[in-house]
Amino acid sequence: MSALLPLLLSLASAATAPVGGAARRIAIVVGANQAPAGRAPLRFSYGDAKEMADVLIQAGQFAADDVHVLEDPEPAAVLAALDGALATLHDDPNPTMLLFYYSGHADDGALYPHGEPLPVSSLKERLESPSASVRLGILDSCSGGGWTQAKGLQPDQPFTVTVPLALTSEGSALIASSSGLESAHESETLQGSFFTHHFVAGLRGAADRSGDGEVTLGEAFAYAQERTIRDSAEQANAPQHPSFDIHLRGRQDLALTRIATSSSLVVLDESQGPLQIIQLQTGLVVLEIPPGERTLKLALPPGHYLVQRHSGGKTWAQEIEVGTGTTQLEEEGLTLVATPQPTGKGLSPPLTLGVGTGIPAGHVDVSVVAGVYHNDPNPLFGVVSNGPSFVWGVSAVWGITDRLEWYVGMPAFAYRFGDRGGIELIPYGGIINWGPQTNSNGFGLNYQMAAGLDTHFWLGNTRFIGVDVSTFSNTATIPVSGQISGSSPDTWAGSGAVSFSQRLKDIVTLSIGLSYTENYLFDGGLPGPNSNLELGLGSVSHPLVSVRVLRRMSLDGYATLYFDTHGDVQESYLLGVTFRL
């Protein structure tokens, strides 16, 4: 079967370096999917190598030109790359480091890049060369425990790296992320190996227990070994047990990454934890932050992420956009969203499941809709079709905070009380529609007023029942120029609606509702015989169907039937698109 036993081999040997010297760091990073005879090819070794190379460049103070990524090279090419790096570092008077990383098949005697044997003795010869002040080897491969000869560790008895490495230490260290001849597995969930995934996450800042903005070899190893034991026990039923053999006299730990050097930095104020950071493009958990109260610096590649915390059957979350520069994030700013749900890969859920429930602070949802409506023939009331009419509209709603929303361009607001997963109360009101009116007599502005309360009763994380009670006026006109006639909002109606919304497969939302509308004030007086009672079925509160097609775009479909006491049966069919800016 496809197997990887992650192995971290670290060899360090250093002499006293000139004060103030700049450290040159060169990395040879190898991903090998090809397998020797009798073994299955691997799937994610190239990805492992890329993740390691990326973090070394972003936060490890490795120049991009000094990180050499090789995909299934022949053994001779690996040794040539190591020899070339040692030759480059040999005459450098400052402290230097050679880092070698390998993800692929191996056994006690050899690695197998390109499916061909590279003797371990040849690798050790390079890693023990004094041409570099520090030599660090990271092998993510099979049969790793043979490097350190450690046996018998139990998953419930993890050890701590108690002897750190130092640039001024004399000696060597062997660190393995497995014991004996254990087998490890590539993880479909992680799209890579357990140890490399967690080791890279640690280097990005998750392992910084001291909070000094640097991640040392000891911190990264301790972080990765704990999660490797956990994940391999849970997912592969074959726990891997990291081990080590260190012989050093120095006491100063070796810093592998300095997070502040990253061009895209997240400063996280953690108040409780634990936290997960999920890359929304892939759905992968890229970082796990242990519980505690601290300020962490994290080196994350630019992109869109979800930060979440699970506790007591509930989930608090917030989406963040990481770009060049520093992104500030406070755990106390996370919003209670629902009970825990698995995060899928690919597309994110539809943009919103209702007014006041989904727009993050600082974002704007812009919706454009267009379609037709018409009256159908109705033999019961003798209504004749008057043909279709084309209609369209544009709206924009800005999330001023995670709870307060403004209907852009209009004095109308909505505010959310409560949280998704329980009961939400969303009062709203203001001028909801306005636009120009022009005719031969002059120019004016039309407007319509409304106020209401939208209540959501959540039935888990993916569905809710909505109850909306509102009142709204007729369209009124304010004269601006010429002799155009003005009018006031003297006809008012009350409306009640009940709807049900359900999200399917994380990208589709279906909603259907029933509404009741009746005038309670007509031309400034009681309705009388001109009162109009109307029943609506279909998209009375939300789109009938909303499909997330891109990370920040949904396609929306509306279909509604209206029946009134005048005998009219009106149909409307609209298509729309919603963008989140």
**pLDDT for 117:** 92
Averaged pLDDT for residues 250-271: 83
Is pLDDT above 80 for 406?
A: yes
Structural tokens at position 438: 């022009």
The percent of residues above 90 in pLDDT, for the chain, comes to 18
Residue with the larger pLDDT of the pair 57 and 222: 57
Confidence category of residue 387, pLDDT binned at 50, 70, 90: low
Is pLDDT above 60 for 299?
A: yes
The answer to whether residues 220 and 270 belong to one domain is no
| Residues 6 or more apart whose Cβ sits within 8 Å of residue 188 | none
Q: Can you say whether the dihedral through the CA atoms of 109, 48, 28, 298 is positive or negative?
A: negative
The percent of residues above 70 in pLDDT, for the chain, comes to 71
**pLDDT for 187:** 53
Where do we find the tokens 């601006």? Answer: 480
Among 384, 388, 415, smallest CA distance to 401 is for 415
The answer to whether residues 467 and 403 belong to one domain is yes
Range ranked top by mean pLDDT from 312-316, 337-341, 375-379, 405-409 = 405-409
**pLDDT for 68:** 97
pLDDT in tens, 131-146: 888 888 887 775 443 4
Range ranked top by mean pLDDT from 260-274, 424-438, 500-514 = 260-274
Kindly provide the residue ranges of all beta strands, DSSP E only, lying in 293-363, ordered along the sequence. 294-299, 303-311, 314-322, 325-330, 335-338
| Residues 6 or more apart whose Cβ sits within 8 Å of residue 153 | 159, 179, 241, 242, 243
pLDDT in tens, 462-506: 778 888 888 887 777 777 777 777 677 777 888 888 888 887 766
Q: Domain with 298 in it: what CATH number?
A: 2.60.40.1120
Question: Is residue 106 a contact partner of residue 139, using CB atoms and an 8 Å limit?
Answer: yes
Residue with the larger pLDDT of the pair 341 and 150: 341
Is pLDDT above 60 for 245?
A: no
Residue 348 lies inside a defined structural domain of this protein: no
Is pLDDT above 90 for 405?
A: no
Residue with the larger pLDDT of the pair 215 and 380: 215
Instruction: From 214, 244, 260, give the residue that closes a domain.
Output: 260
Averaged pLDDT for residues 171-190: 51
Residue 188 lies inside a defined structural domain of this protein: yes
Range of the domain at 287: 263-338
Q: Domain with 95 in it: what CATH number?
A: 3.40.50.1460
**pLDDT for 118:** 93
The mean pLDDT value of the chain amounts to 75
Residue 297 lies inside a defined structural domain of this protein: yes
DSSP bridge pairs for 533: 518
Instruction: From 217, 239, 260, give the residue that closes a domain.
Output: 260
**pLDDT for 145:** 39
**pLDDT for 242:** 52
The answer to whether residues 421 and 518 belong to one domain is yes
The answer to whether residues 144 and 218 belong to one domain is yes
Confidence category of residue 351, pLDDT binned at 50, 70, 90: very low
**pLDDT for 305:** 92
Number of domains in the chain: 3
**pLDDT for 517:** 82
**pLDDT for 316:** 84
Residue 267 lies inside a defined structural domain of this protein: yes
pLDDT in tens, 71-121: 999 999 999 999 999 999 998 888 888 899 988 887 777 889 999 999 988
Structural tokens at position 44: 């994610």
Residue 344 lies inside a defined structural domain of this protein: no
The answer to whether residues 427 and 551 belong to one domain is yes
The answer to whether residues 505 and 560 belong to one domain is yes
**pLDDT for 21:** 41
**pLDDT for 350:** 40
Q: Domain with 454 in it: what CATH number?
A: 2.40.128.130
Residue 379 lies inside a defined structural domain of this protein: yes
Residue 427 lies inside a defined structural domain of this protein: yes
**pLDDT for 566:** 62
Question: Is residue 105 a contact partner of residue 75, using CB atoms and an 8 Å limit?
Answer: no
Helices (H), 108-149: 120-127
DSSP bridge pairs for 479: 444
The answer to whether residues 384 and 512 belong to one domain is yes
Give residue 373's Cα distance to chain centre. 40
Residue with the larger pLDDT of the pair 233 and 580: 580
**pLDDT for 268:** 92
Is pLDDT above 90 for 229?
A: no
HSE on the CB side for 358, CA within 13 Å? 16
pLDDT in tens, 547-574: 878 767 888 888 888 777 666 777 888 8
Instruction: From 260, 283, 309, give the residue that closes a domain.
Output: 260
The answer to whether residues 401 and 327 belong to one domain is no
| Number of residues that make up the chain | 581
Cα dist from 345 to 189, 194, 348, 462, 547, whole Å: 10, 18, 8, 17, 16
**pLDDT for 251:** 41
The answer to whether residues 234 and 281 belong to one domain is no
Cα–Cα distance for residue pair 400/537, rounded to 1 Å: 32
**pLDDT for 252:** 53
**pLDDT for 343:** 36
274: preceding bond cis by omega (within 30 degrees): yes
| Residues 6 or more apart whose Cβ sits within 8 Å of residue 38 | none
Is pLDDT above 50 for 63?
A: yes
**pLDDT for 439:** 64
The answer to whether residues 10 and 158 belong to one domain is yes
Confidence category of residue 13, pLDDT binned at 50, 70, 90: very low
Question: Is residue 266 a contact partner of residue 244, using CB atoms and an 8 Å limit?
Answer: no
**pLDDT for 506:** 60
The answer to whether residues 329 and 236 belong to one domain is no
Is pLDDT above 70 for 381?
A: no
The answer to whether residues 289 and 254 belong to one domain is no
Residue 351 lies inside a defined structural domain of this protein: no
